[in-house]
Structure 1
């Protein structure tokens, strides 16, 4: 084969790499993202906290959800999503009461306000506080504390996903049709941040739990865990405005009609550090809450 033809083929393949990477199927955030947040927390908690976590997780079967087993922090992190379709003897959603606990619809185009969306306690930040208190309460049955651990682990991950923390009255971006590279179809903004962008960001070198932690300067790690749940809610809400919506629209608060927005490779590269930060923040904040609950 002539050298010139080989060179042309190589150049074509190199040009296709970004599009092929963008088109790679991604695990949903509830799986890859949540598990990574949980693993970071497990690596960062005190040794005494880790021992207490292990003691609790050995009794995961007490949850009574064999369809959704819990045996370690990774499986605990996805339990709250796994149980959603489970039914009771009457055919009703067994955990339907927890549906609204995964998010909070805080308007990104108005001053930050948790009082209205969390008035009844049925929002993610309120449940983080509640589940941490239940985990810390040694008077509760062991099964209740294990459930609290699973809920807490999952909800801190949810709060770290910016579209669970702030939106434009569009179900956290689920109503915002968008394309991820060549992937269009039924893709939407929430799906992109839950899956495609999450997987790309977490797996970008230096990947893995220690890669994510060590690539975050200590000063930034200290800043990420400063404050409390309300501060972390405001932080994710701001990321939702500035990056989740801000990257796709010239003005995040002005709905525009026209071609569906596309998250291309250049935009992905700009957002990878943002998405990685959110995962690290979730893990470090969860570690702080676990250390406080199990001290």
Structure 2
């Protein structure tokens, strides 16, 4: 039997309060809530759950509070197949939680309450052997100190590091993360992924194709940089080539978590199954597309679902 690959995921762990509406309210506007529910989320946790569904052994680290949000987050994480033994609980702490307002056609906006736990994870709180037998380390830099610490260890051990710069440097600055820390995380990374705004802030290029080229020229990320551009598709640029993949045409009901599922698909295909670059970006895009067809921030798709979807869209 093939040995399961192991991924350590560090980053945003949260509970989402999902408010379904008929239309996103405009400034000074008014709207109606059709439904309201509590749902586990957080970008890093969404990725972890997707990988677990794809048959990968996933360990989630990060920091939650011992409040109702934290208790529910841990319970559902384990229920979804992710190992929680590295997940730290802060006594008397408050867990990151978000209010996600959704509307038809996949439109949404997110308002976050950071709490006092997710950014507070310290390296000394993590066990010394946390990277033992880990095949891939993923982070979104929540928290920055723990991310850099684990990134350094992973690089020393030759473990691939995937950095998802999902929040722009200007937003990270409001969370107390400096540009120097972001640049160090980039220097430790095997692959860096971000949206269009991230590359714009880092390079000043409004065309993200040029932004990726400029970014790679400056930072020399070993296996390249990725831009997830929503319905414009995805671009993977490295020293050898640029690979672009159109977004699959689907009827989107909720785009929340699509980027997380893209990267889960990427890690699965490229680092766990060693697919070639074209097959990898195709698989990652299909992973994101299937998420868009489901409500909630986490995917319910399996490997078989993704492969069937790809085959039916040839």
TM-score, length of structure 1 as denominator length:
0.28
Instruction: Flag the structure with more relative contact order, 1 or 2, with Cα contacts below 8 A and sequence separation at least 6.
Output: 1
Of Structure 1 and Structure 2, the greater strand share is in 2
TM-score, length of structure 2 as denominator length:
0.27
Q: Highest CA radius of gyration, 1 or 2? A: 1
